[in-house]
Structure 1
Amino acid sequence: MAEPQLLPGNRFRAYRATGQTPEFVCLATSITLTITNAYEDATVADCDNPLETPWRKSVKSSSSWGGRFSGSIAADHLDDFRADVSSEDAVPYQFQVDRNAAGGGGKWAGNVFYENFEITKNNNGIVSFTAQLRGDGPLVWTDASA
């Protein structure tokens, strides 16, 4: 088995994709993308062996996704965050794996609503933020170019 190529943290990035060129969320030092599948379950008996304990059988019923990022905030970046938080329409975002296609690179893209946006300060320190995103509709993967 080939040795894996590890992905440094700066190679997984979030982008706000509202304009012609997606804008890197450069203040985010922690980024999470979560894809969740929901299932309906049934207990299926073995008709050829009725004394056998039945097994659970699952059927995928839906998929959802969301994300979270956090970091330090700069005042000149608050306008974009405020606009996205107050938007009644979903806002396009991307989560990029910065590698070529052979190295597993590409990007997930989809629309999000902000579930919450929190700004915090501790002991007169640097102001930090955390954003929780809720995916709206599909999350589409596109392979990187060669």
Structure 2
Amino acid sequence: MAAPALLPGNRFRAYRGAGSPLVYHFVCLATSITLTLTNSYEDATVADCDDPTGIPERRSVLTSRSWGGRIAGQIAADHLDEFRADATGDTAVPYQFRIDPKDGQGAGAWSGKVFVENFEITKSNNGIVAFTSQFRGDGPLAWGAWT
């Protein structure tokens, strides 16, 4: 049996988009990235019309898709203004989450716009200031090649 090719952590990265034309910049100090895709369903209990005394079965119907996640790590002082603007703005911000395997198999990126639900900065024991940013996707999350 062949061993699986594991994806190193530095091969899953977050990028923040800005400008016109849109350019994505690496969120370089994000040491923890979570991207969550969620499907919501409505359920119905459906009887078998050919077996009226049979036990009905649940059927699920996809009603919506959503996505969100969080990024966390050490705060870069020269990017604090961007994070603060994202957290206080009322416009969704473009983000990209790249998968970049060494062998190129499965490479690509999810791209979409996010609203920041919360932004937290913290320090402990007079150490490096850290951040956590929880976000929710706004609109579709597209998968495709990145350049």
Give the superposition deviation at 1:2.
5.2
Q: CA separation in 2, counterparts of 1:125 and 1:61? A: 46
Q: CA separation in 2, counterparts of 1:79 and 1:37? A: 34
Give the superposition deviation at 1:46.
1.3
The answer to whether the aligner puts 1:5 opposite 2:12 as a matched pair is no
Q: CA separation in 2, counterparts of 1:40 and 1:22? A: 37
Q: CA separation in 2, counterparts of 1:31 and 1:57? A: 34
The answer to whether the aligner puts 1:105 opposite 2:107 as a matched pair is yes
Q: Can you give the 5+ residue segments of structure 2 that lack an aligned partner in the other structure?
A: none
The aligned counterpart of 1:29 is: 31
The one-character-per-residue Cα deviations of 1:73-132 (angstroms, maximum 9, x if unpaired) are: 122120111121122111000000013796111000000010000001122222110000
Give the superposition deviation at 1:47.
1.5
Higher mean alpha-carbon deviation, 7-16 vs 98-107, is at 98-107
Under a length normalisation based on structure 1, what TM-score does the superposition of the two structures give? 0.91
After superposition, the Cα gap between the structure-2 partners of 1:99 and 1:144, relative to the gap in structure 1 and judged at 3 Å, is farther
RMSD: 1.8
The aligned counterpart of 1:15 is: 15
The one-character-per-residue Cα deviations of 1:37-75 (angstroms, maximum 9, x if unpaired) are: 111110011122222211110000000001201001122
The aligned counterpart of 2:73 is: 71
Identity of aligned residues (%): 66
Q: Can you give the 5+ residue segments of structure 1 that lack an aligned partner in the other structure?
A: none
Size of the aligned set, in residue pairs, is 145
The aligned counterpart of 1:55 is: 57
